[in-house]
């Protein structure tokens, strides 16, 4: 479970608050996609939840540890260490360097299940991989970290369309199987409609659109695009209240 009550955040040099009294409750195991234009507050929201930023006001309640995958492939992995070492260390609460040797076969099997040939790099430093390959490994690490709250910030952005689809299918399946409480930022409207139990739209630091259940499952891409442009082009905030 994840709960935010009246959470706000400002940064020096920016006239308006980046987050404005955000209220959000995410049930245990719920999978939420988050959309919004650049500057709407999506990434700041994630950083507040992860603890990278502190809120100026409001309260945050998290029933579990947080793991995340961000757009920057240089974060969350250690390029000089091997793929095996990175994945093994992501699953450890305390450093024990014999751990990865005992679990190598299991880790290789998980990588092989992606069916993209990355297992051949298992003993190579991550620095030899492309940005998209490293983003895939970072996602695998997060999904298998044992933490219960998962934050994904454009975690397929460095991949080609075929790989994006493959990783999204793997991600969605793993979230269901592991019961992870998930927030996933995406600019891909097809992903926003297809995946998740709930769709949240942010605009100017507020949550302006929140759909779940049958309303979410029946949502069409064209309807979502129209709603997106309605907020962005006409700058409608509905008094800062959620639109259901």
User: What residues does 59 pair with on adjacent strands?
Assistant: 5
Q: How far is CA 227 from CA 15, 23, 70, 202, 216, in A?
A: 26, 21, 26, 11, 13
Domains and CATH numbers, the chain: 2-64+148-240 (3.40.50.300)
Q: Going by DSSP bridges, is the β-strand pair 57-62/31-35 parallel, antiparallel, or unpaired?
A: unpaired
Buried b (16+ CB within 10 A) or exposed e, 179-207: ebbbbbbbebeebbbebbbbbbbbbbbbb
Dihedral (CA of 195, 201, 205, 207) sign: negative
Task: State residue 100's pLDDT score.
Answer: 58
Question: How would you write the pLDDT of the chain (244 residues) with one tens digit per residue?
Answer: 899 999 999 999 888 899 999 999 999 999 999 999 888 999 999 999 999 999 999 999 998 899 999 887 777 788 888 888 888 777 665 545 555 566 788 888 888 888 888 999 999 998 899 888 888 999 998 998 889 999 999 999 888 888 899 999 999 999 999 999 999 999 999 999 999 999 999 999 999 989 998 999 899 999 888 888 887 665 544 433 443 3
């Amino acid at each position: 479970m994840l709960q935010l009550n009246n959470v706000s955040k400002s940064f020096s040099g920016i006239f308006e608050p980046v987050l404005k009294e955000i209220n959000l409750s995410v049930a245990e195991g719920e999978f939420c996609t988050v959309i919004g234009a650049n500057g709407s507050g999506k990434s700041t929201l994630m950083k507040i939840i992860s603890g990278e930023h502190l809120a100026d006001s409001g309260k945050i309640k998290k029933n579990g540890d947080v793991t995340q995958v961000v757009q920057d492939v240089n974060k969350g992995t250690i390029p000089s260490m091997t793929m095996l070492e990175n994945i093994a260390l992501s699953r450890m609460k305390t450093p024990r360097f014999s751990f990865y040797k005992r679990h190598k076969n299991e880790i290789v099997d998980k990588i092989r299940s992606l069916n993209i040939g990355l297992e051949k790099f298992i003993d190579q430093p991550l620095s030899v991989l492309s940005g998209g390959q490293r983003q895939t490994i970072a996602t695998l690490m997060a999904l298998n970290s044992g933490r219960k709250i998962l934050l994904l910030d454009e975690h397929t952005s460095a991949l080609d369309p075929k790989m994006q689809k493959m990783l999204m299918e793997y991600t969605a399946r793993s979230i269901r199987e592991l019961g992870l409480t998930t927030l996933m930022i995406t600019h891909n409207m097809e992903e926003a409609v297809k995946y998740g139990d709930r769709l949240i739209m942010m605009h100017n630091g507020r949550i302006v659109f929140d759909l779940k259940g049958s309303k979410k499952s029946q949502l069409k891409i064209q309807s979502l695009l129209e709603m997106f442009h309605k907020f962005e082009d006409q700058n409608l905030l509905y008094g800062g209240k959620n639109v259901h």
